[in-house]
Amino acid sequence: MATHRTVRNEKLVAAGLLFLLVGLALGLSLGSVSLPLRYVIKALAKGPSGAGALSADGMETLADAIVWTLRFPRVLLAFIEGAGLAVAGSVMQGLFRNPMADPYVLGVSSGASLGAVLGIALGLGGVFGVWSLPALAFLGALGTAALVYALSTYRKRTDTWTLLLAGIAVSSLISSLIAFIMVIARERVDEIVFWTMGALSRASWMSVGVSLVYTVPGLFVLLRHAKALNALSFGEEPAFHMGVRVEPVKRTLLWTSSLVVAGGVAFTGPIGFIGLIVPHAVRLVTGPDHRWLMPLSGLFGGNALLFADLIARVIAPPREMPVGVITALSGAPFFLYLLAHSRRRRE
Amino acid sequence: MNGGRVTVQDLRFKRGGREILKGISFQVEPGQVAAVVGPNGAGKSTLLKVISGYLRPASGTVRVGGVDPVSLHPSERSRLVTYSGDEPDPAFAFTVEETVEMGKVAVEAPRSRVALQATLQAALEALQLTGLRDRPITSLSSGERQRVYLARAVYQDPLVLLLDEPTTHLDMAYEVHVVEMIRDLAEHGKTVITVVHDLNLALRSASRLLFLKDGRLRYDVAPGEVTSEVIGDIYGVEVQVASHPVLGTPFVTPPSARKA
């Protein structure tokens, strides 16, 4: 391995961690109520038990509560989900040998939306308590992934092109179902629209805990397959001749990515562009070796969603933008810039 | 230990209900270079892919080093046999060195870092790629890329190498070089089976020629036994087979006319 690349990658890790630190600090202090950094640090020092206690300084009491019950889980969920989306995106791009692939290839995002929209429209808010919408969204996401997977698997072999096409077809079918439901359940359109735009305002310690349970082991499994993914990005047949267990590896990668993504999307609604752009941008700098590409995508994907959420909170006070709007607004032009830039470099 | 002996017995392969290989039997010993030749669509590439374990035969047996490659764990199989042929265009800009290194992707614990570096260097040198080692493969010509994939197979270092048209995209100098390298591999005990279109190249480089037509093995002969009758039977063209003035090997002159 070329050493200059390793050195550059180590610098990137350092830069990513620095961004993370700044993002956390800003994420805890900015919002509809701005908290000076010293209050944030005090609140953190007191620990979660400090959140309920009254203190002589009214600002301090408020800061404790905001930091511990609202903002801390929110920044954590942003980082976890952003990391999951970006790593899953790098996996899908490698597997499909296509830099246009994103973590929603198997229809996970539209499936999650359908689950949540059904829950909202049928007023199932109370069936599983606060867990109703996330549970329905999660079921919708995995159900769709299973359907797309089954449609493209024959005699234990999964055809990647069929998978791509089936994913597109099933997703657009679901989109029209959602539109259908929105017309029928007109009085709940606002709620539906807000959910499908993706937002982190529903974050709680519970959602952080649950998405950690999906994301951490999932990312571990994905990272262990970095070398196999390198070989697979040359095509499935060449990878076979290099000694990769093509079908089992493919199955593991597809399902683990879908689980990681579904675990986040179930709480926040679909958030676009992070899983598409971050791996793409990281690849331009580090090269395509998944042993670096995947962890660095995770780090910068987490940061990207963290900062996007920050912008979503402060851009139009006192209102809060859905973070999905911000990722699309900043992601699409950035992506177009990358496209033009990399083309110019090649020619 | 029979090394990398390849034994094929009454091999049949079907695709979409059509029989591509119709009962093929032969054996290739370690140290031999066998060239599979024959018209387009004869089943040459399919034969190599069945031997590699990638395609499963409808019936008959394949034994590589005494075992069925399909029954092996993929990483074990990758140390026994590999196939190298045309690949889809690379999707990502791996460097030449990174690409060649993937020959060992399935090997969990490398013997030693130093020994591995030496074999990597040897594989790059064998295909004259040392000057290109840091170039992204997306920027290479098809001939350069073909040498990279060959280097990867050499670095993988299995007992049996199945090389599907290894010189198609190469210029004359590299063609000569690769032919020498293939001979060298065989002299070091490897079993090599190639698919070659250029008959004269096959006659120069192989110790045996396997003539395939319509999924059947029609002739299994040494270069010296190739006659104009054999070629006329396989390709339906009239040629003259002479002795090469310098090398002394058989030499096929271009067909003069189509057989009636």
Quick check: is A36 in a domain? no
Q: Give the CA count within 13 Å in the CB-facing half-sphere of B69.
A: 33
Question: Min CA distance, A216 vs chain B (Å)?
Answer: 24
Confidence of residue B1 (pLDDT cuts 50, 70, 90): very low
Q: Do A2 and B107 touch (CB under 8 A)?
A: no
Q: What is the pLDDT of residues A183-193, one digit of tens each?
A: 998 888 888 88
Q: Where are the alpha helices (H) located in B88-227, listed in sequence order?
A: 96-101, 113-126, 142-156, 172-187, 199-205
User: Which residues from chain A sit within 8 angstroms of residue B102, using beta carbons?
Assistant: 230-231, 234, 242
Q: What is the largest CA-CA distance in chain B?
A: 62
Q: Which residue has the higher pLDDT, A30 or B247?
A: A30
Q: Are A325 and A312 in contact (CB under 8 A)?
A: yes
Question: Min CA distance, A238 vs chain B (Å)?
Answer: 7
pLDDT at B106: 82
Environment class of A263 (CB within 10 Å of its CB; exposed 0-12, middle 13-18, buried 19+): buried
Quick check: is A329 in a domain? yes
Angle between helix A246-268 and helix A108-121 axes, rounded to 10 deg: 40
d(Cα A110, Cα A76) in Å, to the nearest integer? 24
Which tokens belong to B197?
A: 């279109």
For residue A165, give Cα distances in angstroms to A168, A171, B236: 5, 10, 44
Chain B residue whose CA is closest to A238: B87
Whether chain B has a CB inside 8 Å of the CB on A247: the answer is no
**pLDDT exceeds 60 at position B257:** no
Whether chain A has a CB inside 8 Å of the CB on B78: the answer is yes
Amino acid present at A20: L
d(Cα B175, Cα B193) in Å, to the nearest integer? 16
ipTM for the assembly:
0.93
d(Cα A129, Cα A169) in Å, to the nearest integer? 33
CATH number at residue A252: 1.10.3470.10
Quick check: is A49 in a domain? no
Q: What is the pLDDT of residues B10-23, one digit of tens each?
A: 999 999 889 999 99
Residues 278-317 of A with CB under 8 A from B: 283, 287-289
Backbone angles phi, psi at B241, to 5 degrees: -105, 120
d(Cα B120, Cα B148) in Å, to the nearest integer? 12
**pLDDT exceeds 90 at position A44:** no
Whether chain A has a CB inside 8 Å of the CB on B45: the answer is no
Size of interface A-B (CB pairs under 8 A): 77
The rounded mean pLDDT for chain A is: 87
d(Cα A160, Cα A149) in Å, to the nearest integer? 10
Quick check: is A52 in a domain? no
Angle between helix B113-126 and helix B142-156 axes, rounded to 10 deg: 140
Q: DSSP readout, A30-56?
A: -SSS---HHHHHHHHHH-GGGGT---S
Q: What angle do CA B135, A293, B139 make, to 5 degrees?
A: 20
User: Which residues from chain B sit within 8 angstroms of residue A99, using beta carbons?
Assistant: 91-92
**pLDDT exceeds 70 at position A126:** no
Give percent of chain B above pLDDT 70. Answer: 95
Quick check: is A318 in a domain? yes
Whether chain A has a CB inside 8 Å of the CB on B109: the answer is no
Quick check: is A34 in a domain? no
A246: domain range?
Answer: 76-346
Quick check: is A51 in a domain? no
In terms of Cα–Cα distance, which of A128, A106, A116, A138 is closest to A263? A138
In terms of Cα–Cα distance, which of A61, A196, A214 is closest to A119? A196
Quick check: is A157 in a domain? yes
Whether chain A has a CB inside 8 Å of the CB on B79: the answer is yes
Number of separate domains in chain A: 1
pTM of the model: 0.91
Question: Min CA distance, B150 vs chain A (Å)?
Answer: 12
Q: Are A226 and A294 in contact (CB under 8 A)?
A: yes
pLDDT at B260: 46
Whether chain B has a CB inside 8 Å of the CB on A183: the answer is no
Whether chain A has a CB inside 8 Å of the CB on B94: the answer is yes
Q: Taking phi first (over 0 means left), then psi (-120 to 50 degrees means alpha), and beta for anything else, what does residue A198 get?
A: left
Q: Do B84 and A227 touch (CB under 8 A)?
A: no
Q: Do B98 and A1 touch (CB under 8 A)?
A: yes
**pLDDT exceeds 80 at position B88:** yes
Ordered strands of the B18-28 beta sheet: B18-28, B6-15, B59-64
A20-45 core/surface letters (b: 16 or more CB in 10 A; e: else): beebbebbbbbbeeebeeebbebbbe
For residue A274, give Cα distances in angstroms to A129, A150, A279, A301: 30, 27, 8, 6
Residue of B51, B94, B105 to mutate, interface with A, max A Cβ within 10 Å: B105
For residue A16, give Cα distances in angstroms to A5, A27, A231, A294, B30: 16, 16, 27, 13, 53
